[in-house]
Amino acid sequence: MCSATIDIKIKKNIFTIIFVLILMAHPVFADSIGKFTDIRGDVSLERLKMFIKPKINDVIQIKDLVITGDYGRTKLMLIDSSLLTIGNNSKVEITDFLLDVNLRKGIILIKAGALHTRAEKFLEINSRFEVRTPTAVIGARGTEWFTEINAKEGTTVFSIADVIRVYNPAYPNQPVNVKDGYFTVIEKGKLPTKPEPYCPSDLYIIMKKWGAEEGLNNRKLKVSDEICNRVR
């Protein structure tokens, strides 16, 4: 084999190695469906079995898994302007997302932890935006709510604006509608509890525990002091 041929093969191998290293450092596998707008503490991104330390304005893609540590917290802005605030000690996957003119279909999976969701309103009847946990499916065409998974894998959902539809995936035909200022609890193998009112200051404390309280800083829910005294 002539030396020229050997040189060409060596150059091709070197180019291949450099190309693979570039992909590992800056992987691009799919279209962007959002971006990181805020990152605090320990936040990582799992994409196709690779772990990445994201930076502000880095893109989010379908099937990405966002992981936060003890003092981690991050915000994602999706391409429809919906905002996701992921609390500490959380694992949240962007399972599916489609945006086409006035049609939107989004599925967000909380595997652990907590998520504050502000879904941009879409009037198209076939549009949907769902947040899922092991015990609950929360859906709306546009509204705001907070979801947390407790130690026993039960789910508590607080409606902050408008009405959300909640059901246990084991009983998809028995949902409850939760209006703003109310919450429901969904435990494994059980139907959602009857929605009950909550006090905004109590919700603020819960969200602060997860590092996701900023969504409530400038919001005043229409709940009277009488209700706050009754629910405590």
Q: What is the pLDDT of residues 160-203, one digit of tens each?
A: 998 999 999 999 999 999 999 999 999 999 999 999 999 998 99
> Helix, strand or coil for residue 110?
strand
Q: Of residues 81 and 128, which shows the higher confidence score? A: 81
Q: What is the pLDDT of residue 99?
A: 72
pLDDT at 28: 38
Q: Please, are residues 134 and 161 in contact by the beta-carbon 8 Å criterion?
A: no
Taking each continuous run of H as one helix and of E as one strand, the counts in the chain are 3, 18
Q: Which residues are CB-contacts of 57 (< 8 A; sequence separation ≥ 6)?
A: 35, 36, 37
pLDDT digits (tens, 9 = 90+) for 32-52: 889 999 999 999 999 999 999
The rounded distance, in Å, linking the Cα atoms of 102 and 126 is: 9
Q: In this structure, is the dihedral angle defined by the CA atoms of residues 64, 70, 72 and 77, taken in order, positive or negative?
A: positive
Q: Which amino acid is at 92?
A: V
CATH dotted code for 32-231: 2.60.120.1440
Structure tokens at 79: 């391409």
Binned at pLDDT 50, 70 and 90, residue 24 comes out as: very low
Between β-strands 103-112 and 128-132, what pairing exists: parallel, antiparallel or unpaired?
parallel
H/E element, 68: strand 65-68
Task: Find the Cα–Cα–Cα–Cα dihedral 127, 153, 194, 191, rounded to 10°.
Answer: 80
Report the amino acid identity of residue 201: S
Candidate ranges 10-24, 52-66, 139-153, 214-228; pick with highest mean pLDDT: 52-66
Mean pLDDT of 141-145: 84
Does the structure show a pLDDT above 80 at 60? Answer: yes
Residue 6 has pLDDT above 70, yes or no: no
Q: Where are the domains of the chain?
A: 1-30, 32-231
Environment class of 178 (CB within 10 Å of its CB; exposed 0-12, middle 13-18, buried 19+): buried
Q: Rounded to an integer, what distance in angstroms lies between the CA atom of residue 47 and that of residue 75?
A: 17
pLDDT of residue 193: 97
Angstrom distance (rounded) from CA 95 to CA 108? 6
**Do the Cβ atoms of 91 and 69 come closer than 8 Å?**
no
| Mean local confidence (pLDDT), 197-214 | 92
R_g (Cα) of the chain, nearest Å:
21
Report the share of the chain in percent with pLDDT over 70.
Answer: 76
Instruction: Quote the mean pLDDT of the chain.
Output: 83
> What does pTM read for this prediction?
0.81
CA end-to-end span of the chain: 84
From the list 145, 121, 150, the residue with the least C-alpha distance to 133 is: 150
Residue with structure tokens 């409850």?
Answer: 176
